[in-house]
């Protein structure tokens, strides 16, 4: 059941315990490996450089309640009300607490403290309970902070959310993700076929398709402007107020707009822009404290 990420986390934990400033050393080394250039933490300019600076020097532990997928929903509910919240069926701390008989036909199970982990059940009668229990037990062992040293993940108490499986009429749900700088949406992207052949289209605020890729190939499928784009932008800007940068992730489902998550470090600050000048353009919008420049 254990995958490469488990062993990476164990190694990172050990090295972090014995080497001073290990997160900074690791991020500098990995950044060089990824982009073949030195990470200029003393004078960050690009988007990725500034995200790395925020990991090391920013007060991102204060964002923990927004990264925790359980408390994030409560935060959004307090600001926007219930209508944008995906329905929870169960929230558990241990796989032994699962009430299988109370689960609906279709549901999603996902950990509150990790990124990119999900279990989808479309037919409860054919559900492999052992597989689900094994996944939950495994997820509970992982500390995502030690993957990319995103301090907003540090210390989140592991829980598992069972929630409604949404639909938008496509084979896989389309994500609408809004890049907010100082509380204003500047860019957006849509992910398609995340579990098959991941593609991505970048958009301007006005929903103009932009001529660059960000970490995944550009999709050649035209994505029409959502009918409720203005409402999605308003939601994103409301939730992003007070942050120099955050990406607000939303779904447009058959039951309306639904909140997905807060993302403070897209692609862990290691996303590849093609052409690379877009990294600089995004970076110009991300304002760090004066002592970072």
Q: Which domains does the chain have, with CATH numbers?
A: 4-288 (3.30.470)
Report the distance separating Cα 237 and Cα 32, nearest Å. 34
pLDDT tens digit sequence for 134-190:
999 999 999 999 999 999 999 999 999 999 999 877 667 788 999 999 999 999 999
Residues of the chain scoring pLDDT < 70: 1, 170-171, 195, 291-293
Q: What is the pLDDT of residue 118?
A: 95
Within 8 A by CB and 6+ apart from 222, the residues are 209
DSSP state of 218: B
Q: What is the pLDDT of residue 196?
A: 75
> % helix / strand / coil in the chain, to the nearest 5?
40, 20, 40
Q: What is the pLDDT of residue 22?
A: 97
Laid out side by side, the sheet with 199-204 consists of: 199-204, 184-192, 175-181, 245-253, 256-263
Q: What is the pLDDT of residue 62?
A: 86
Q: What is the pLDDT of residue 197?
A: 80
Q: What is the pLDDT of residue 254?
A: 85
- CA–CA–CA angle 188, 67, 175 (5° rounding): 30
212-247: b (≥16 Cβ within 10 Å) or e: ebbebebbeeeeeebeebeebbebbbebbeebbbbb
């Amino acid at each position: 059941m254990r995958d490469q990420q488990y062993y990476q986390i164990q190694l990172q934990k050990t090295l972090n315990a014995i080497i001073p400033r290990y997160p900074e050393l690791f991020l500098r080394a990995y950044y060089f490996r990824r982009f073949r250039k030195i990470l200029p933490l003393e004078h960050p300019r690009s988007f990725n450089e500034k995200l790395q600076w925020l990991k090391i020097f920013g007060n991102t532990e204060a964002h923990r309640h927004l990264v925790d997928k359980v408390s994030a929903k409560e935060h959004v509910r307090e600001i926007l009300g219930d209508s944008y919240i995906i329905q929870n069926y169960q929230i558990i701390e241990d796989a032994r607490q699962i009430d299988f008989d109370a689960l609906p036909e279709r549901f999603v199970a996902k950990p509150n403290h990790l990124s990119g982990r999900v279990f989808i059940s479309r037919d409860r009668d054919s559900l492999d309970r052992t597989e689900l229990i094994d996944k939950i037990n495994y997820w509970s062992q992982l500390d995502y902070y030690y993957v990319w040293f995103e301090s907003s993940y540090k210390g989140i108490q592991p829980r598992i959310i069972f929630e409604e499986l949404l639909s938008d009429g496509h084979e896989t749900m389309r994500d609408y993700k809004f890049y907010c700088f100082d509380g204003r949406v500047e860019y957006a992207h849509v992910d398609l076929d995340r579990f098959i052949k991941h593609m991505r289209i970048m958009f301007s605020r006005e929903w103009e398709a932009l001529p660059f890729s960000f970490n995944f190939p550009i999709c050649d499928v035209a994505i029409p402007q959502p009918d409720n784009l203005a409402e999605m932008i308003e939601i994103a800007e409301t939730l992003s107020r007070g942050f120099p940068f955050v990406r607000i992730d939303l779904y447009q489902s058959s039951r309306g707009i639904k909140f997905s998550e807060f993302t403070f470090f897209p692609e862990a600050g290691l996303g590849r822009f093609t052409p690379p000048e877009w990294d600089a353009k995004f970076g110009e919008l991300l304002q760090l404290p004066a002592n970072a420049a």
